[in-house]
Amino acid sequence: MLRRLRRGAALGAALLAGLAGLAALALLLTRPERAPADAMAGIEGDARRGARIFDAAGCAGCHMAPDAPDGDPEARLRLSGGQAFPSPFGTFRAPNISPDPEAGIGRWSALDLYNALHFGTSPEGRHYYPAFPYTSYVNASRQDVADLYAYLMTLPRDATPSQKHEVAFPFNIRAGLGLWKALFLRPGWVVKGPLSAEQARGRYLAEALGHCGECHTPRNALGGLRRNAWLAGAPIPGGRGRFPNITPARLDWSQADLIEYFTSGFTPEYDSAGGHMAVVVQNLALLPREDRAALAAYLQAVAPVPEAPS
């Protein structure tokens, strides 16, 4: 009897040790990652360059107020947040990223912004949901992050509090995002191979700053991008319709047609951009023409992919 009790105690202790090891491993895998404290040391931001990064990254498109008047250049720079983005996992709301020290990011450092864009980690050490497209921004250069930070700090302050996401169990457990990031958050380009300087610039604009794949690429059941169907079209989350296939399999416009669309929103058939794409075009139109040409050259270099299934 005593031998059995000892054996049971030993098995129980081994089981507890195993569970403790699994718990420690889970904590290790799910902890939010950050860059070293000196990651942005010696990098000076330039607000003038940062304005170009701001437009290329489409910051205003998500973070300006939902009731901001269309085409108002001042309203688009008041980054009070509040726009809703429905998805199969819940409804996410863009936060206030104005330089307000209480409601916004006025107390952030350039390193805080780098950690948010590259690791999806908040200054407090929490995971951000990937509705914030850090899976694309992870490819942004440190200089561009520093420039963007310098520009953001020049914008108007807005004291509107950020609204909470509407996310139910189990997706409201942010620790699980560490496992999600381990699967889907990694730097690197989708379109590889020899590219011209113009195409490489377009790749940077599309795959890093402009995060085109976040809408135009289908996702798997866990919400990760299906990179083997890059830019092949995807259902609109929480809505009707689809984001179109913009690979050469369906988008056969000339480079001049694409540049015109990115400038005016007009297609070769004299249709015009609508919905959120109209806001994207407003941002692209603010970029230098050579950036729009580079983006067009990149899209023509993407591998053609048939329409992705819903």
pTM > 0.85: yes
pLDDT the model gives residue 74: 83
The last residue of one of the domains, among 152, 184, 216, is: 184
The reply to whether 65 and 152 lie within a common domain is yes
Position 35 in a domain: no
Position 269 in a domain: yes
Q: Which domain holds residue 226?
A: 197-301
The reply to whether 179 and 111 lie within a common domain is yes
Position 41 in a domain: no
pLDDT in tens, 258-301: 999 999 999 998 888 888 899 999 999 999 999 999 999 999 99
Position 233 in a domain: yes
Position 236 in a domain: yes
Position 95 in a domain: yes
The reply to whether 93 and 153 lie within a common domain is yes
Our CA dihedral for 26, 27, 29, 33, rounded to 10 degrees, sits at: 170
The reply to whether 68 and 166 lie within a common domain is yes
The reply to whether 178 and 251 lie within a common domain is no
DSSP category for residue 228: G
The tens place of each residue's pLDDT in the chain, 310 residues long, gives 555 555 555 555 555 445 445 344 444 567 899 999 999 999 999 999 999 999 999 999 999 998 887 767 788 999 999 999 999 889 999 999 999 999 999 999 999 999 999 999 999 999 999 999 999 999 999 999 999 999 999 999 999 999 999 988 878 888 889 999 999 999 999 999 899 999 999 999 999 999 999 999 999 999 999 999 999 999 988 777 899 999 999 999 999 999 999 999 999 988 888 888 999 999 999 999 999 999 999 999 999 999 766 5
- Dihedral class, residue 29 (left if φ above 0, else alpha if ψ from -120 to 50, else beta): alpha
Total number of domains in the chain: 2
Position 9 in a domain: no
By CB atoms closer than 10 A (0-12, 13-18, 19+), residue 95 is: buried
| Token pair recorded at residue 13 | 């202790």
d(CA 16, CA 26): 15
d(CA 150, CA 148): 5
Are 250 and 234 in contact, with CB atoms under 8 Å apart? no
pLDDT the model gives residue 137: 98
The reply to whether 75 and 160 lie within a common domain is yes
The reply to whether 276 and 218 lie within a common domain is yes
The reply to whether 206 and 284 lie within a common domain is yes
The reply to whether 161 and 62 lie within a common domain is yes
The reply to whether 157 and 202 lie within a common domain is no
The reply to whether 119 and 213 lie within a common domain is no
The pair phi, psi for residue 243, each rounded to 5°, is: -75, 135
How distant, in Å, are the alpha carbons of 56, 105, 117, 277 from that of 135?
A: 16, 21, 8, 20
CA pseudo-torsion sign 220, 63, 35, 143: positive
d(CA 215, CA 219): 9
DSSP 51-63: HHHHHHHTHHHHH
Are 231 and 212 in contact, with CB atoms under 8 Å apart? yes
CA pseudo-torsion sign 151, 154, 155, 159: positive
Are 297 and 204 in contact, with CB atoms under 8 Å apart? no
Position 1 in a domain: no
The last residue of one of the domains, among 135, 159, 184, is: 184
The reply to whether 56 and 124 lie within a common domain is yes
